Amino acid sequence: MATEQGTINVSTENIFPIIKKFLYSDHEIFLRELVSNAVDATQKLRTLAAKGEVSGEIGDTHIEVLLDAEAKTITIRDRGIGMTKDEIKKYINQIAFSGAEEFLEKYKDEASIIGHFGLGFYSSFMVAHTVEIVSKSYRPKTKAAHWACDGSPNFELKDGEKEERGTDIILHVAEDSVEFLEEIRLDTILKKFCKFLPVEIRFKDEQINNTAPAWTKSPSDLSKEDYDAFYKELYPYAQDPLFHIHLNVDFPFNLTGVLYFPKLTNSYEVQKNKIQLYCNQVFVTDSVEEIVPEYLMLLHGVIDSPDIPLNVSRSYLQGDPNVKKINAHISKKVADKLAELYKKDKEDFESKWNDLSVFVKYGMMSDEKFYDRAQKFCLLESMDGSHSTIEDYKEKIKANQTDKNDELILLYTSDPEGQHSFIQTAEEHGYDVLKFNHPMIDAHFVNFIEQKLEKASLRRVDSNTISNLIEKEESLESVMSEDDQTSLKSLFEEAVEGSMANIELKPMSPDELPVIITRNEFMRRMKEMQAMQGMDPAAFPDSYNLVVNTNHKLSQQILENADPDVQHSLIKQLHDLALLSQGMLKGEGLTSFIKRSVDLVGNE
């Protein structure tokens, strides 16, 4: 049996150390590359068989990954097209000459080939000190071939012993890579990278992959139950998704996939990196920042594009024109789907709005084109649970919430429980109050949407007295004389001296609270935005307005009481109650308020 020895056709003798260190950042990729090559060999055989170029039935074509921890070997065995000695010399010994590329060019209209480059096989040297190939071609009357290389440019090629068609890649695992001899480690890698390969993969006599995942099928062949089942396959412990979007594009780029809108919690940040990128059903990465718009990174699911190679890098993605087109297409598809769902069943869409609103609002702030599309389905939710699009809502409140300057005023709450008394007052005046209370998105969205609205502004319901929030031509008159108001203001200034309060006397309805705290809308927003961004909010002073209702009976009682201590105590109590309603009473102030309250109750 003739043995041939030679030198691999490389441009430098240092190619193998370079491969080991730089070809892939993660050494576990070797298994993806070798199994992908095995899938290629199998797909080639199937293509040739379909063209009548293979004699007889091709039979079983599953791929096996075999582990022998004692012998320290990993074998990837396929029953595909196989290779002769000449083909091994051509495809293995000439690095970067890709057999897949040549085959793809010949059968480009009929073959589905993963590999588009020739270095994948050599990733085996990242974990092996020696690699063997034992292969037998599908062609009749051909001998098996055996190739071996110890990681240097030198190889040995001779006739081999193999009865069945196909190829065995045998890795003799190096001492620094013995972690890959653990069964659970290989199982984890295979299920990560090969879970959806189109050829059956077996490890430890178990099939580890779904050869026909949902995104490879026609939407007309799938039911909602099929999509939900696939979601559970991807994310076994997740709640059922809200709905899905099936992607299927073949021009001007190739893209398939299924994206899901998940149910979100307020801790949604931890759910990023849930979209998986595949290339012809081979897992590439779950870091898809360049491919999927940032505001859709919270989506779950799969996208598959043969136009993105397996050796993908972020710098490659940033410069690839196809990636930009894919990004824009995904954004449009999502917007179209949301518009379709809203038009088809508004009630169902509204029931999901709490989860959808994060995606929609984030998208509107991030992408002008998405903003234009989203105006059809972006909803504003009122305290009574009703929903309206922005334009519909403006029409709804126009008659009652337009101020004396002909400006439309949208009232909102960021804390329905904490701001309940202010909401109640607004509703008693016939005003509608919106809910903008998502902790991560709404503080930003309020500022954004206000800039987009013409002759309209948003005002938080506790930022001023109700008559100042929406100023009308008519105004209430105070039942107090000018002198009484001056005296009352002096009493309040003395009682709250040392606080950050600016005292303001205002005639309001006797049914409103005697003392209200308001804060400048702009300053409050800036302070909240700084706090959300982890910045020091101390740059904005924590001052507030203490608005005293001169038409409330308690204001009159304070003036009429002859005991200065009682006057002081009542004012302090009203001030603290106002602070308490805004969540501003803490520490020593809260302790003093509790003690004073007990004393006041005891004196009744």
Range among 130-134, 292-296, 444-448, 564-568 rated most confident:
130-134
Q: Is 26 domain-assigned?
A: yes
Q: Is 366 domain-assigned?
A: no
Residues 219 and 265 reside in one and the same domain:
yes
Contact, 42 vs 201, CB < 8 A? no
Q: What is the mean pLDDT of residues 250-264?
A: 86
Phi, psi of 385 (to 5 degrees): 90, -5
Q: What is the mean pLDDT of residues 551-561?
A: 90
Helix H or strand E segment including 102? helix 99-106
The CATH code of the domain that includes 193 is 3.30.565.10
Q: Quote the DSSP letter at residue 389.
A: E
d(CA 318, CA 446): 32
Q: Is 422 domain-assigned?
A: yes
Least confident of 13-17, 102-106, 151-155, 320-324: 13-17
> Among 302, 297, 148, 94, which residue's Cα sits nearest to residue 215?
302
Q: Which residue has the tokens 């430890």?
A: 204
Q: Is 520 domain-assigned?
A: yes
Contact, 255 vs 303, CB < 8 A? yes
pLDDT class for 24, splitting at 50, 70, 90?
Answer: low
pLDDT, the chain, mean: 84
Residues 218 and 203 reside in one and the same domain:
no
Q: Is 566 domain-assigned?
A: yes
Phi, psi of 47 (to 5 degrees): -65, -45
Sheet holding 166-173, edge to edge: 3-7, 154-159, 145-149, 128-136, 166-173, 73-78, 63-68, 201-203, 206-207
The CATH code of the domain that includes 227 is 3.30.230.80
What does the pLDDT read at residue 39?
A: 94
Q: What is the mean pLDDT of residues 5-12?
A: 58
What does the pLDDT read at residue 97?
A: 42
Residues 198 and 230 reside in one and the same domain:
no
Q: What is the pLDDT of residues 450-506, one digit of tens each?
A: 899 989 999 999 888 888 888 886 677 889 899 988 999 899 888 888 788 888 898
Residues 91 and 137 reside in one and the same domain:
yes
Contact, 231 vs 302, CB < 8 A? no
Residue where a domain terminates, one of 184, 207, 230: 207
Higher pLDDT, 353 or 100: 353
What does the pLDDT read at residue 115?
A: 46
Residue where a domain terminates, one of 343, 368, 388: 343
Q: Quote the DSSP letter at residue 156.
A: E
Q: What is the pLDDT of residues 117-157, one digit of tens each?
A: 446 788 888 899 999 999 999 998 899 999 999 877 788 99
What does the pLDDT read at residue 523?
A: 67
List CB contacts of 338: < 8 A, sequence separation 6 or more: 356, 360, 374, 377
Return the bridge partners of 501, or none: 544
Q: Quote the DSSP letter at residue 509.
A: -
Residues 134 and 9 reside in one and the same domain:
yes
Higher pLDDT, 286 or 86: 86
Q: Is 119 domain-assigned?
A: yes
Please state, as a whole number, how many other Cβ atoms lie within 10 Å of the Cβ of residue 533: 8
CA R_g for the chain:
35
Residues 126 and 10 reside in one and the same domain:
yes
Q: Is 149 domain-assigned?
A: yes
Structural domain range at position 432: 378-469
Buried b (16+ CB within 10 A) or exposed e, 242-257: bbbbbbebeeebbbbb
Residues 540 and 563 reside in one and the same domain:
yes
Residues 331 and 399 reside in one and the same domain:
no
Buried b (16+ CB within 10 A) or exposed e, 546-571: bbbbbbbebbbebeeeeeeeebebbb
Q: What is the pLDDT of residues 205-228, one digit of tens each?
A: 999 999 999 999 999 999 999 999
281 Ramachandran zone, left/alpha/beta (phi>0; psi -120 to 50): left
Q: Which residue has the tokens 């205002």?
A: 506
What does the pLDDT read at residue 521?
A: 66
pTM of the model: 0.75
d(CA 275, CA 287): 8
Residues 127 and 188 reside in one and the same domain:
yes
Half-sphere exposure of 207 (CA within 13 A, CB side): 10
Structure tokens at 602: 């005891």
> How many independent structural domains does the chain possess?
4
* 553 pLDDT higher than 50: yes
What does the pLDDT read at residue 382?
A: 96
What does the pLDDT read at residue 197?
A: 95
Higher pLDDT, 73 or 560: 73
Q: What is the pLDDT of residues 416-442, one digit of tens each?
A: 998 898 899 899 989 999 999 887 788
Buried b (16+ CB within 10 A) or exposed e, 474-490: eeeebebeeebbeebee
* 276 pLDDT higher than 70: yes
Number of H helices, E strands in the chain: 20, 22
d(CA 556, CA 550): 8
Q: What is the mean pLDDT of residues 569-583?
A: 86
In this prediction, what percent of the chain has a pLDDT beyond 90? 44
Q: Which residue has the tokens 């691999």?
A: 8
Residues 398 and 417 reside in one and the same domain:
yes
Q: What is the pLDDT of residues 285-318, one digit of tens each?
A: 887 877 888 888 888 999 998 877 555 554 555 5
Residues 38 and 162 reside in one and the same domain:
yes
What does the pLDDT read at residue 62?
A: 96
List CB contacts of 406: < 8 A, sequence separation 6 or more: 455
Identify the three-state secondary structure at position 131: strand
According to DSSP H, which parts of 367-465 are helical? Answer: 368-374, 390-397, 420-428, 442-452
Q: What is the pLDDT of residues 333-352, one digit of tens each?
A: 999 999 999 999 999 999 99
d(CA 89, CA 105): 20
Residues 44 and 122 reside in one and the same domain:
yes
Q: Is 536 domain-assigned?
A: yes
Residue where a domain terminates, one of 443, 469, 495: 469
What does the pLDDT read at residue 370?
A: 94
What does the pLDDT read at residue 114?
A: 45
Helix H or strand E segment including 528? helix 521-532
